[in-house]
Amino acid sequence: MQKTLQATAIAFGCASVSFLHMNAQTQNTEKKQPNIIFILSDDHAYQAIGAYGNKIAQTPNIDRIANEGALLTTNLVANSISGPSRACLLTGKYSHMNGFKENEKDDFDMNQLLFTDVLKQSGYQTAWIGKMHLGSLPRGLDFWSVLPGQGHYYNPDFICQPNDTVRFDGYVSDVVTDLSLDWIKKRESSKPFFLVIGHKATHRQWLPDLQDLGAYDDINFPLPENFYDNYEGREAASKQDMSIEKTLDLKRDLKVHGDYVNHPSYNRFTDEQKKIFQNYYEDKITREFDDKNLSGKELTEWKFQRYLKDYYAVANSMDRNIGRVLDYLDENNLADNTVIIYTSDQGFYMGEHGWFDKRFIYEESLKTPFVIRYPNVIKAGTRNDNLISNIDWAPTVLDIAGAKIPDEIQGESFLPLLAKPKINTKWRDASYYHYYEFPEPHHVFPHFGIRTERYKIVKFYGGVDNWELYDLKTDPQEMCNLINNPEYKGIVTELKKKLKDQILKYKDYEALEILDKSK
């Protein structure tokens, strides 16, 4: 069924907790509960955003949120993969507690306590619009409209209330934003609202909005220093299947000699869309590839350039649409009483270690961007370096809403760290991580570990039986495994004890059994 972009907007909820509203009330007893917009992207790397120091990326609207509020420099995930990360958001709990450890294999149990339930009990209208990717349809929200599975970039389908599938004309970032703004317009204005805007960008296969094709073609992206990593001393890294050289596919990922007959996204094109797309990828990119006749390192580096050009171009549309949301808030006198958050479900490799994708506990996939604007509560230009986890997102949202944080939530509200940064607030000194999905699709062995301010220790299992240790102060690129370095013997002992303490604190008994049996 075809519909235009004027259809009723739809959405599902997200997870968070409450302290900040109480602080705001001390300044203004008549201040209403703030509206909260939680913008969640997919696979958007922090190192590909201007506010995080990237001089090439065109992300002025994400940067604006950071400049007008706070930027978290060490926002970490509990499990670097899309669905499980979203489950951590909804529950404020680790994967082993919320039951959603792996994409596709698991379906998220929507019947458990979600932080959106608490928001509704606190008087909020709740909605989720766009990508959810949890294998289950939303429940308990006032409004939802979600992409089936990964969704499509062009002329996407949405599953809408009451579970009917509707196809919308246009590019997915535009459609998600149209539906979101439509819902905001039609909401019950007497109540505060919480809205998740779930973007598909920047997920593989990186199909840009047609107006953004070639946006970065004049850029020669610098190779990361460790692009040609040989993985010495890191067995798990040496056995992965996520390299730009070997795994990134010319036809599927880079659109060279594209399959316009069988590709599920290309089949959705109108004739006009297909013509524009083919003019770029066939008449320009594929012709360039054929003329060059590349092999070896030259081919690998050409693939790297094409990967980044498409990835960045996909992000352009998302940022432009974030700007539409900011403009709408300004134009409708909503900006002063609306908290706006931008984050991604995990980080992503932009050629570091020669990789794309995520999964590993290493920095590029462990860290994810997080910027938040809360007028009159969080001072513009705030930067926070604490070890924040995505299990903390839900309790923090609840805190903003003035809602009580349920005892079963494992995360903590970091709102005090942002609202009163000069007060010495006790906070965690280690962040726990556990990844499970193996062997498909990228042959990354399961592992768990902790990241402290300076160190990272990790235990790989399920096919390899190795420990790794990194000193992030001396080795920020994580190239040198120090686990057997005698100078770090005391540090290893201390970190293994801290790791066990974290495992016990968060009740990860599977990891505890592996730890007790390890060397």
What percentage of the chain reaches a pLDDT higher than 90?
89
- Of 346, 322, 475, the closest CA to residue 75 belongs to 346
Mean pLDDT computed over 259-278: 93
What region, left, alpha or beta, does residue 130 occupy, with left being phi > 0 and alpha being psi -120 to 50 degrees?
left
Tokens describing residue 56: 């090439």
Q: Is 330 helix (H, G, I), strand (E, B) or coil?
A: helix
3-state DSSP helix/strand/coil percent for the chain, to nearest 5? 35, 15, 50
Tens digits of residue pLDDT in 480-499: 999 999 999 999 999 999 99
What region, left, alpha or beta, does residue 98 occupy, with left being phi > 0 and alpha being psi -120 to 50 degrees?
alpha
For residues 51 and 422, give the distance between their C-alpha atoms in angstroms, rounded to a whole number.
22
**Are the C-beta atoms of residues 447 and 515 closer than 8 Å to each other?**
no
Residue 121 has pLDDT above 80, yes or no: yes
Q: What is the DSSP string of 431-444?
A: EEEEE---STTT-P
For residues 395 and 409, give the distance between their C-alpha atoms in angstroms, rounded to a whole number.
7
Mean pLDDT computed over 248-259: 96
Tokens describing residue 407: 């005892």
For residues 409 and 54, give the distance between their C-alpha atoms in angstroms, rounded to a whole number.
35
Task: State how far the alpha carbon of 314 is from the alpha carbons of 44, 48, 200, in Å.
Answer: 10, 12, 10
- Of 293, 311, 304, the closest CA to residue 245 belongs to 304
* pLDDT of res. 31: 58
Tokens describing residue 138: 């939303």
Residue 173 has pLDDT above 60, yes or no: yes
Tens digits of residue pLDDT in 34-56: 999 999 999 999 999 999 999 99
Mean pLDDT computed over 10-31: 37
In the chain, which segments carry CATH 3.40.720.10?
Answer: 2-207+314-427
- Of 92, 195, 90, the closest CA to residue 413 belongs to 92
Mean pLDDT computed over 394-399: 98
- DSSP summary character for residue 266: G
Tens digits of residue pLDDT in 55-101: 999 999 999 999 999 999 999 999 999 999 999 999 999 999 999 99
For residues 98 and 113, give the distance between their C-alpha atoms in angstroms, rounded to a whole number.
9
Tens digits of residue pLDDT in 431-441: 999 999 999 99
Q: Is 214 helix (H, G, I), strand (E, B) or coil?
A: coil
Tens digits of residue pLDDT in 127-139: 999 999 999 999 9
Say how many C-beta atoms besides its own lie within 10 A of residue 66's C-beta: 25
Q: What is the DSSP string of 13-71?
A: ------SHHHHHHHH-TTPPPPEEEEEEESS--GGGSGGGT-SS---HHHHHHHHTSEE
CA quadruple 384, 385, 387, 391: dihedral positive or negative? Answer: positive
Please tell me the least confidently modeled range out of 82-86, 102-106, 305-309, 332-336. 102-106
Q: Over the chain, what is the mean pLDDT?
A: 93
- Of 441, 448, 413, the closest CA to residue 427 belongs to 413
Beta bridge partner(s), residue 142 = none
Phi and psi at residue 306, to the nearest 5°: -65, -40
Do the strands 430-435 and 447-452 form a parallel or antiparallel pair, or are they unpaired?
A: antiparallel
* pLDDT of res. 19: 35
User: Going by CATH, does the domain composed of 432-517 fall within 3.90.1150.10?
Assistant: no
Residue 4 has pLDDT above 50, yes or no: no
Q: What contacts 169, CB < 8 A, 6 or more positions away?
A: 2, 4, 5, 155
Query: Is the pTM for the entire model greater than 0.85?
Result: yes
Task: State how far the alpha carbon of 213 is from the alpha carbons of 101, 118, 263, 278, 279, in Å.
Answer: 36, 43, 19, 11, 10
AA identity, residue 59: T
Q: State the fold for domain 2-207+314-427.
A: Alkaline Phosphatase, subunit A (3.40.720)
Mean pLDDT computed over 361-383: 98
**Are the C-beta atoms of residues 200 and 150 closer than 8 Å to each other?**
yes
- What DSSP element (H or E) covers 72? strand 70-72
Phi and psi at residue 433, to the nearest 5°: -140, 140
- Of 245, 255, 247, the closest CA to residue 223 belongs to 245
Task: State how far the alpha carbon of 111 is from the alpha carbons of 114, 115, 360, in Å.
Answer: 8, 12, 30
- What DSSP element (H or E) covers 5? none
Q: Is 71 helix (H, G, I), strand (E, B) or coil?
A: strand
